[in-house]
Amino acid sequence: MWPCGHVAIVIPLSFSLLIPLLIYLSQKTQGSRDNRVDYGGGMLESYFMCLHLQVHSIVWSGDDSRLVSCGMEGAVYEWNTLTSKRESESVLKSCSYTGVTVSPDAKTIFAVGTDGTLTEIQDCQILHEVPAEDVAYTTVTMSRSGRTLFTGTSIGTIRAIKYPLSIQKDWIEYQAHSSPVTKMVITFDDQYLLTVSEDCCLLIWKIIDKEVHGLKRDKEITYAEEILITKSDLEEKVQT
């Protein structure tokens, strides 16, 4: 999703420029498990394979200076996007991580995986682990305010977990999908949570925090006049 809101890789360019750009994106992202646009909107990051193992999730830090990834080998890596070097890692070989997110200040990483826990990581050390009890966590994201973590589960539910984490059960659970939740993302203004699942449904949730107001836009967003077309129409246009 583009940083400005409910846009799924939609580029407001003239039609003559849109066609080659869409073809380029289609070719470069085929086979990718995860695609993330940075907060500045200038880079699209795709992960395919790393160390011969699948990378399940990637996330940008708020200032785009860090990129965090996790995968099947049980490792969570933090990368410096300016130097392209790995700066930290946390490895738990008994767990295959499926989701990762980072705090607004980029100091704390949260990961979920097959070990059935929500793991809080800081300076390569595990600080807290929150068991999922009778389900498995599949994906995770954090609000821009840093007050709430949202997790998806293997039975299609969404959990809103207060932060800082508590050793006791301190969350609200909502039934959302009929299959495991695969990805989720929060809009830049903390107003909406978007979730997708293996049931092929995209759900949009309104986030209501009585103690914190969402970020206000500097000005009203103007809507683009471009019209999306199907892949078949695009291919026909290219051929003619």
If you average pLDDT over residues 150-156, what whole number do you get?
Answer: 97
Sign of CA dihedral 22, 24, 30, 35: negative
- Tens of pLDDT, residue by residue over 97-146, are 999 999 999 999 999 999 999 999 999 999 999 999 889 999 999 999 99
Domain-wise residue ranges, the chain: 50-215
Concatenated DSSP letters of 177-229:
-SS-EEEEEE-TTS-EEEEEETTS-EEEEE---SSSPPPPPSSPPPPP-----
What CATH code would you report for 50-215? 2.130.10.10
Per-residue pLDDT at 235: 77
Enter the pTM of the model.
0.73
SS3 for 146? coil
| Single-letter amino acid code for the residue at 61 | S
Q: Which helix (H) or strand (E) holds 111?
A: strand 109-113
Distance of CA 135 to the CA centre of its chain: 21
Average pLDDT over residues 1-9: 51
Residue 26 has pLDDT above 70, yes or no: no
